[in-house]
Amino acid sequence: MSGKQAAYIFNVNVVTPNGVIEHGWVHLVDGLIEEIGSLSDNSNNVPPVTLYEHAEVIDGRNGWLLPSFIDVHVHGGYGHDFMDADSAGLDAITKFHAQHGTSVMLATTVTAPKSDIDKVLSRVSHYRESAMPYAQLLGVHLEGPFISAKWPGAQNPEHITAPQLAWLEDWTQRFPELIRMQTLAPENEGALPYIEALVSKGIIAALGHTNASYEQVQLGVEHGLSHAVHSFNAMRALHHREPGTVGAVMSNPAIMAEVIADGHHVHPAVIGLLAKLKGPDNLLLITDAISAAGLGNGDYQLGGLDVVVLDGVARLKEGDSLAGSTLTMIDAFRYAVQNAGISVEHASRMASGNPARRLGIDQATGALQPGKQADVLLLDEQLELERVWIQGRVIR
């Protein structure tokens, strides 16, 4: 027993799927959550568990203990983009986001030629063959290229094309189970059979960058559509006589919705409204972060398009459209709590438990429960990140 790596964190508010344990403690052993309990009846703060030799004992000082974050929509960070990152670049991206609380990510592409997407799939597949030292790349989220030319956002319109079933067959044969999600416009010709093909291969079919009517979204759901990327952004807006894409996303419980909680993409009151409509189990916090995340103002690129970052806001140099974000998951979580009126417990579910369930990894991670991976965050009372464990390894 003396060789086990262990940590005991006490005097914290432990966020669990069954509520918040005040004056709680959590025991981590060999990469797993060993035990969880409360010190409410123990005024001496004596550990109520047998600690292994060399276990680190940490006083949480009435802060918060959360499951680490899972980001299903992120393009890069710290100067690197998934579209061209080599192994060192992938290390840089996953290290940066891990240090800000993310333990699992989907490497997200942009609308690009098939040859460029092929290269991303190849690099990520190769990277996953070895132990990943930081945040884990679970797979790839293809954002495009089968989107609407009316709502390209910061996607390069030159590479938008109709859904290509042959491409999907090629990708899934060469890189089985690597693609976890694909974003497309469900109103496009050929989209419905493509959605069915995605679902048949276990890939999440997501709407985004779309001009779909309310009825077209509902039809897409009937064919297997179940997810909405960056709700409100780059999609047909809500109107009282034509609910549009947004109306369908807000009202259909079959659609899990993402939102970028940075105060620039969506007003905090609207984030709060979306949270009320979708409920605590059907909303995901994402970053949509680009290579500029973690760096300062300046000129960057996204999918071959020039981007300018000023005061943390990324916009296309031509057209001024928002171009992803410089957000981290801890910032999104904190903004949701402090500005959008979402409780710590529910915001944690939106940043961890819901994406884990969305990706089918909730048996292993996404919640603080004995037996699950020690993917754990320690925050202070002001929700500032203090410590990060990924599979029991100290990252920060």
Q: Give per-residue pLDDT as tens, 63-82.
A: 999 999 999 999 999 999 99
6-67+368-394 belongs to CATH 2.30.40.10: yes
Half-sphere exposure of 298 (CA within 13 A, CB side): 11
pLDDT score of 1: 35
- Whether 69-358 and 6-67+368-394 are alike in CATH topology: the answer is no
CA distance 181 to 187: 18
Q: How many percent of the chain have pLDDT more than 90?
A: 93
Q: How is the chain split into domains, by residue range?
A: 6-67+368-394, 69-358
Query: Which has more confidence, 42 or 303?
Result: 303
Taking only the tens place, the pLDDT of each residue in 211-222 is 999 999 999 999
pLDDT score of 94: 98
Question: Is it the case that residue 106 has pLDDT exceeding 90?
Answer: yes
Average pLDDT of the residues in 34-40: 89
Position 44 confidence tier, pLDDT thresholds 50, 70, 90: low
Going by C-alpha positions, the residue among 7, 9, 2, 6 that lies closest to residue 45 is 9
Position 166 confidence tier, pLDDT thresholds 50, 70, 90: very high
Taking only the tens place, the pLDDT of each residue in 264-307 is 999 999 999 999 999 999 999 999 999 999 999 999 999 889 99
Going by C-alpha positions, the residue among 118, 99, 110, 339 that lies closest to residue 230 is 110
DSSP state for residue 210 in the 8-state scheme: B
Average pLDDT of the residues in 318-323: 92
pLDDT score of 5: 83
Instruction: Evaluate whether 144 touches 124 at the Cβ level (below 8 Å).
Output: no
pLDDT score of 43: 53
- Catalytic positions are 288
Going by C-alpha positions, the residue among 175, 186, 179 that lies closest to residue 202 is 179
pLDDT score of 45: 53
Position 375 confidence tier, pLDDT thresholds 50, 70, 90: very high
DSSP string, 139-178: EEEEE-SS--TT--TTS-GGG-----HHHHHHHHHHSTTT
pLDDT score of 213: 98
pLDDT score of 129: 97
Question: Is it the case that residue 4 has pLDDT exceeding 80?
Answer: no
pLDDT score of 340: 98
Instruction: Evaluate whether 15 touches 351 at the Cβ level (below 8 Å).
Output: no
- The fold of the 69-358 domain, in CATH, is TIM Barrel (3.20.20)
Average pLDDT of the residues in 301-314: 94
pLDDT score of 55: 85
Average pLDDT of the residues in 135-145: 98
Question: Is it the case that residue 47 has pLDDT exceeding 80?
Answer: no
Q: What are phi and psi of 218, to 5 degrees?
A: -60, -40
Instruction: State the chain's mean pLDDT as an integer.
Output: 95
Question: Is it the case that residue 3 has pLDDT exceeding 80?
Answer: no
